[in-house]
Amino acid sequence: MDAYIYLISAQYVSQARFRDVADALVKAAPVEARAVRLETSGDGLWHALDDLTARLATRIELRPIGLPFSQSLEKWLPNAAASWLARQGENAPELYFATSLQTDLNVIHAAANAKVALRPIAPKPSGELGKGWDTPPAFRHHLLVCAGPRCHLKDAPNLVDALRAELGRAGQSSDCLVTTTGCLFPCNAGPVIVHYPHGNWYRVETMDDIRTFVSGALRAGTIPRSLLIHQTGDIHEPA
Ligand code: FES
């Protein structure tokens, strides 16, 4: 069976909006297909590969969607897929990575000439300002949770949801500002959470890690050493 995986990079887009496009792509696909969001939320590329392989896909095309599509993702994604492939047995499917759509002049022409609905814009003084955007919220801890593509591959977005739930259970939600970020750089050591104002960087992979982090770093005010990968200000010698 042939299959496609559509790869979508869309950081500032709601899950509902992503789903609309993902579902439309899957519906329009000529073969069995999945759509994967590369950052922020939802199951990642390895999940989709596992899923299609379990459905006996023998040939899978990875198709980047986006104009333009990030060149760093274009370079990294085949390697991430190759890493998955290296863990498979002899029944592994063939994998292919498609050229991004920006090289297809028909797609460019369709985008440039699309007949779309228009909304008029009237003058609105200070229209760029919004309610509640004047002062930082009151909190004691600022947690930067990496939802970049390489942490996402290891389920970082699902960990964000789990972290928020655990903060609620521990009665810490109102004390913590949780911000999902793009890549924070130590991708190989991810998924990464940075805890300010202390400047402690942690690798948080599992539910147990989340509980350890919340109870240690936030409730007890200690440093869970088993999770610590870096402290702001430390200098690491290149390997
Ligand atoms: S993607 Fe998370 S540190 Fe790079």
Rounded Cα–Cα distance for residues 179 and 142 (Å): 8
Instruction: Output the CATH code of domain 2-111.
Output: 3.40.50.1400
Q: Which atom of ligand 1 is nearest to the CA of 181?
A: 2
Rounded distance from Cα 151 to ligand 1 centre (Å): 5
Domains in the chain: boundaries: 2-111, 141-231
For residue 39, the model assigns a pLDDT of: 82
Q: What is the distance between the alpha carbons of residues 217 and 223, in angstroms, rounded to a whole number? A: 5
Q: Is the dihedral of CA 53, 55, 45, 176 positive or negative?
A: negative
From ligand 1's centre to the CA of 228, what distance in Å? Answer: 15
CB 210 within 8 A of CB 163: yes
pLDDT value, residue 13? 87
Residue 148 CA, ligand 1 centroid: distance in Å? 5
How far is it, in rounded angstroms, from Cα 97 to Cα 129?
Answer: 42
Count of H helices and E strands in the chain? 7, 9
| Closest to 80 in 3D by CA, of 24, 146, 36, 30 | 36
Per-residue pLDDT of the chain (239 residues; tens, 9 = 90+): 999 999 999 888 888 999 999 999 999 999 999 999 988 777 889 999 999 999 999 999 999 999 999 999 999 999 999 999 999 988 899 999 999 999 999 999 999 999 999 999 999 999 999 998 899 888 999 999 998 899 988 877 678 889 999 999 999 999 999 999 999 999 999 999 999 999 999 999 999 999 999 999 999 999 999 999 999 989 887 66
Q: Which CATH class is domain 141-231?
A: alpha beta
Which atom of ligand 1 has the smallest separation from the CA of 149? Answer: 1
Rounded Cα gap, residues 6 and 195, in angstroms: 34
pTM comes to 0.84
